Structure 1
Amino acid sequence: MSNKLSKPTCPPWFSELCGIKNLVEEQEFLINGQEFLVKNGIPRSKALFSATQKQTEEAFGFKWKKRDTFESEASLKRMRAWLNERYGTATTIPWLNGSSGSRPIVLDAGCGAAMSGLEYFSPVLDKINYLGVDVSEAADVAAARFAERGVSASFMQADISNLPFAPASLDIVFSEGVLHHTDSTENAIKSIAPLIKSGGHFMFYVYKTKGPVREFTDDYIRTQLQDMSMQEAWDAMMPLTELGNLLGELNIEIDIPREIDLLDLPSGRINLQRLFYWHVFKAFHHPDLSLEEMNHINYDWYAPANAYRQTPEEVRTWCQEAGLKVEHEVVEDAGITIIAEKQANENWIDN
């Protein structure tokens, strides 16, 4: 189903947020001084991106258009379970269930094809006003996927580190695995936080710093891919994906007798595939996914030029400095999940 609208219109909340009445095809307009152009019913920023951010935009635009690599029921089920495990189910969170008496505006900052957005918010989409924003043309894929489900939503193509919205205009910001793909994770957090209303919430997931071998390998592989086309990079990832699949199918466990501090490698029993995955290179494996789906996940990690990793201490500090009180935190080998409340005083300090 096409998301191109013959007579684009704005829902009232989106009109108020952006200060425009209608989305007229090829119309140019300003939102708080930023230039936008409407194309296929979606406002798109005319601002230029940095070289690395432009590459990241192209990498994700390519990936999310390959819908057959992430839309199987097994893939979506895995994502749904992982989101609920880290954030808690949307139906159990009061401020996502209309407890305030009005539909909150939920910005999906870096929505991609709305894989995470649809899987997480589906149970409460009738209780929120969803706005998906992405730096790439994945916003078109997200709009099409919402339209195919008959769900009302709004979309925009823009840099999430330079959004045009007024301060304190958003109720909830959700950014699943995206902030680290900007030019600066810290700046992204601190530029988005002022847009959230006092008492509103920022939900996000960012990559966590890993051991020295994995960090070196990640940077090395990512550098190798930068001179390739997106298809060449996708193809170059496939042998690594095949190796990860082979290791997973072997299903061998080993017992590391002593912690290896020099490599940040813990002791204990570990699956051989997991040992390589966490401590040598990312080669995802899941028995219910196809090679193409696993390659999608590996490509997602390695292809973008921007892919910063951070420590939990850094993330907590950035939240504090941005006036965000961390209410919920999950730290895993893969990354850091945060739910934080925006404080009335941006200089709030956790005592």
Structure 2
Amino acid sequence: MIDYSLLADVIEGPVTAMESGLTMTGRDVPVRGGVIRLREDSGYNESFALQWNRFKTNQIDAVNGTKLSHIRFSETGWTIDDLRRRKVLEAGCGAGRFTRILAESGARLVSFDYSAAVDACAENNSHFDNLTLMQCDIFAMPFKAGSFDYVFCHGVLQHTPDPKAAFMALASLVAPGGRISIDVYRKDGLIRPWKSKYIWRPLTTRMKPETLLAFLQWFIPKWLPLDTAIKRIPRVGTYLGSFVPCWNYFQTDLSREQKVAWAIMDTFDALAPTYDIPMRLEDVRQWFIELGWSDFEARPGGNGVVGNGRRPV
């Protein structure tokens, strides 16, 4: 569903419905599959389009029976009551694991993705009448400055060509007194097992995403039992098991089938994206300082660094 009253509040310029789509930002924009298409291809995020249309529901808590997405979302510090009827922007929705949480809050929600991953989000969440979906570029968003009460962007910034510029573009959309929550992979100069992906990415990012995914779908089910045995070794297991990339969820409550699927999905997620640009915690702090915001936090989080801030009134 498209909330035209919300679009009228947040879009630069008039918005007019047409039979084939709508007119906005001074041009005709098609609407297909319930998604407003400000761009027509997946560009540098082709791997995410493949990933999220292949693993559409794996991260939806209501489907996998866990609270993993809710736990991750809790790093915002926001409550459901905070969001109800508020204007909320989600940048980089993917298949919609967080879209579901935001939509269920009753927020007036606009979610977008750069790639055709938004089609998976539409399939998962289009039944929400408070959700408007777009395919657009984070560096070419059509929104008015200061038009959203909450802006959410987790798992996205490191996969853009310029994480800082992407953050600044999003921060400009926060209304006075509004809040933003972002996260980004952490660059800290320490040896960490998950960083082994950077040994392999010079090779894997040159592969066609379909070829890499096909290989992982063949390899991971065979390797996962041995990888699990290695990573169960006290103290050194996670390091011994890190050289061969395999994102292993043996310590979670996922079913055996889910653990295999998640291992394939997240190993692909680590090796395939065109961009993977981690940032220092100090860098994220400096972003908020440059904005002149004093009410913020930048701290370690489940995905690297979490940055939560409130724009001054």
Alignment CA distance shift 1:72-1:130 (3 Å): closer
Offset at 1:300?
Answer: 1.4
**What CA deviation, in whole Å up to 9, does each residue of 1:235-264 have, x standing for no partner?**
33353675455332455333xxxxxxxxxx
TM-score by length of 2: 0.83
- Given candidates 59, 79, 87, the residue that maps to 2:47 is 59
Write the distance in 1 (CA, Å) between the matches of 2:133 and 2:245.
Answer: 32
The alignment yields a C-alpha RMSD, in angstroms, of 3.0
Offset at 1:322?
Answer: 2.6
Q: Which blocks of at least 5 consecutive residues in structure 2 are unaligned?
A: none
- Given candidates 71, 75, 85, the residue that maps to 1:82 is 71
Residue 272 of structure 2 corresponds to residue 292 of structure 1: no
- Given candidates 98, 102, 107, the residue that maps to 2:89 is 107
Q: Which blocks of at least 5 consecutive residues in structure 1 are unaligned?
A: 1-7, 98-102, 255-269, 345-351
Alignment CA distance shift 1:339-1:193 (3 Å): same
What residue number does 1:25 align with? Answer: 20
Write the distance in 1 (CA, Å) between the matches of 2:27 and 2:286.
Answer: 30
Write the distance in 1 (CA, Å) between the matches of 2:159 and 2:142.
Answer: 19
- Given candidates 208, 217, 226, the residue that maps to 1:246 is 226
Offset at 1:107?
Answer: 0.5
**What CA deviation, in whole Å up to 9, does each residue of 1:85-138 have, x standing for no partner?**
5234633xx6324xxxxx2111110011111221x33551x2x10111100112
Offset at 1:168?
Answer: 0.9
Residue 239 of structure 2 corresponds to residue 275 of structure 1: yes
Q: Displaced runs of 4+ in structure 1, greater than 6 A? A: none
TM-score by length of 1: 0.75
> Are the equivalent residues in 1 in contact too, given 2:146–2:175 (CA < 8 A)?
yes
- Given candidates 108, 117, 126, the residue that maps to 1:129 is 108
- Given candidates 265, 268, 289, the residue that maps to 1:320 is 289
Report how many residues are paired: 302
Identical counterparts, % of pairs: 19
* Residue type of the alignment partner of 2:20: E
Offset at 1:76?
Answer: 6.0
> Are the equivalent residues in 2 in contact too, given 1:25–1:41 (CA < 8 A)?
no
Alignment CA distance shift 1:134-1:245 (3 Å): farther
- Given candidates 41, 44, 49, the residue that maps to 2:37 is 44
Write the distance in 1 (CA, Å) between the matches of 2:155 and 2:233.
Answer: 30
Q: Which protein is bigger by CA-based radius of gyration?
A: 1
